[in-house]
Amino acid sequence: MESYPPISNKCQHILHGADYNPDQWIETPEIWDEDMRLMKLAGCNAMSVGIFAWSALEPEEGRYEFGWLDTIMDKLAENQAYAILATPSGARPAWLSQKYPEVLRVGPTRTRNLHGQRHNHCYTSPVYRQKTEEINRRLAQRYKDHPALIVWHISNEYGGECHCRLCREAFRSWLKKKYDNNLDNLNRAWWTGFWSHRYTDWSQIEPPSPIGETSVHGLNLDWKRFVTDQTIDFFKNEIKPIRELTPDIPVTTNFMGTYTGLDYWKFAREVDIVSWDNYPSWHSDGLSTGELASKISFVHDINRSLKGGRPFMLMESTPSLVNWQQVNKLKRPGMHMLSSLQAVAHGSDTVQYFQWRKSRGSSEKLHGAVVDHCGHENTRVFREVAELGAVLKKLDCVLGTTVKPQVAIIYDWENRWAIDDAQALRRDKKDYQQTCENHYRAFWKQGVPVDVINMDCDFSGYKLLIAPMLYMVRPGVAERIESFVKEGGVFVTTYFSGYVDENDLCFLGGFPGPLRNVTGIWAEEVDSLYDSDKNALVFSPNGSSGPAGEYAVHTFCELIHAETADILAVYKSDFYAGRPALTKNSFGCGRAYYIAARTENRFLDDFYSYLIDTLDLLKAIDCELPEGVTAQLRTDGKRRFVFLMNFSEEEKILDLQGIYTERITGEELLERISLSPYGVKIMEEVNDNDYQY
């Protein structure tokens, strides 16, 4: 295994910077020089420029004003800094909306929006595509050879949908292509015999709407697929002149974690580098810091996995607080360093913020920034950013490294869409994402690296594959799972798996449908529990391995029959007491486990600890990790860098096995070490022999 190349050969360092909006300060350009001074003090070397600058770049149709951007690009280059140059389509100027009102979005109630907000535009509109192509071409022509340019930041946080006439027509065309221009194929896939919904002409089909159809799940699912495809098509239109004129400059667009509006597995194919915006509610009263940190790690690992392990970009985070959460709490001292290095630990080669300098007006004027309204460096936030900048300069050795986990968890966007749409179970407690996060956290607590993939990814490189609530099973997936297990892999799945196909049609012949053979069980019914209901799964006292005793179950209990599977645990109470709650099926050289109920997290910790030990799974570090502490690994196959992070409010003591060099301080670490609250250590393993990953 080798390292990946840096994001740009122009900069062989971790990128550190922020969204920079000098266009808001055109009337006071003396601030620009002060910005350059402060950037150096903060250790910032890359700025995202021009993200919402269309009205400053083209104040009137066809009249372009690039002088201010020329100055900024030159100043960045003169100060040994770089530009992540944005295309401005995320918010169009008022003249464009006024002259071409067809570019404005139409909502699901078929009402056209007024000018305003962001992403209030139609992705199908030929006019908007033409105008974005024109401004992007001019940007690429002007700056293609500029020494500051290292990455293209395409638009900003794509999202939303449009229901205008053009989009409705485009949806019908998309459906015709998918269903081979055959309405019978569509009617079968959508099961339109239900409620006499059968279509007899393509013009009868409308996107889901609160004033129309919402109950045909195949329609809902295909609409979401169309929105993803149409957004990507718009993106490809945006990057066409950029690819043509700057083929060697990578492109990205900032994703939004697990945002449900777009399937990022499809979108990731079109970008050179994955980037995402991370805004956790640190120090909340609903979750412990460790619990929240695990959830954020889950998303970091999605973004690393989207490009098969290639390092990603942390495009946005806040250096202090945000202004849009219910409670906008300050980061406590030390949390900025820890949360930023958390991204690096999971594979980010950048740490960037929204925003560099606080706006004077409008909705984000009180959002956190590196430079506050006071305008100088003598603030707590600026000092913490500068401290991080100094640390990042010592981590060139980590640049481009990655990790190849032996564990993968399937988190699939289409599966989530189908689960969210299903009228079943406890509708307020389906919690697909949280369930995946709970399974993930058992590995996070032990420092076991994990990939978070979708069901279409290659499974062959893993020892352990986990698919919580794999409700949808697309064609070929079950066959690949069977091959994985036959060849020695271990597969774990749960209740509410193997219910529907890619069209959200139920499998006939018994659940878990195409997973029935590999799991060796038949799932007959699902019982939804009230919060006051009590039940448990109980292991046989004669069990020879694995967890033992009794564990609480809640929310869902699936009633299953063991066909070829062995019963490891049974339900304790209710009319299904004594029936299987956990099974293991030997299949080829491997085995498949079926967890029939939603369990307390203590069970997941114990169950996966057993699998970690028996499968001898890769760990970042060979020592016991206290509660709230995790260890994450980056490596080039020879050098191992362990990020040891304390996401708790207490000092933690660890007993190391081996000798490490701390990359920040240079000190040698061995035997017992201390981690302060929110403390982090970046350690390189000292090994006389080259480590072969």
Which of the residues are catalytic?
A: 157, 316
455 neighbors 467 (Cβ within 8 angstroms): yes
Computed on alpha carbons and rounded to an integer, the radius of gyration of the chain in Å comes to 26
Residue among 691, 673, 693 nearest 682 (CA): 673
d(CA 593, CA 493): 6
Q: Which of 397, 311, 316, 314 is nearest to 7 (CA)?
A: 311
Residue 429 CB coordination number (10 Å): 15
- CA distances 145 to 45, 89, 427, 586, Å, are 19, 22, 55, 60
Which residues have CB under 8 Å from 407's CB, separation 6+? 443, 448, 449, 450, 451, 462, 463, 464, 465, 466, 617
> Side chain identity at 129, as an amino acid letter?
R
132 close to 235: Cβ distance less than 8 angstroms: no
d(CA 202, CA 383): 61
First-to-last alpha carbon distance for the chain, in angstroms, is: 7
DSSP assignment of 435-493, as one string?
A: HHHHHHHHHHTTT---EEE-TTS--TT-SEEEETT--B--TTHHHHHHHHHHTT-EEEE
CA 1 from chain center: how many Å?
A: 24
Structure tokens at 87: 């295309």
**What is the CA 271 to chain-centroid distance, rounded?**
15
Measure the CA–CA gap between 643 and 444, rounded to whole angstroms. Answer: 12
Closest CA to 54 of 22, 28, 87: 87
Three-state DSSP class for residue 550:
strand
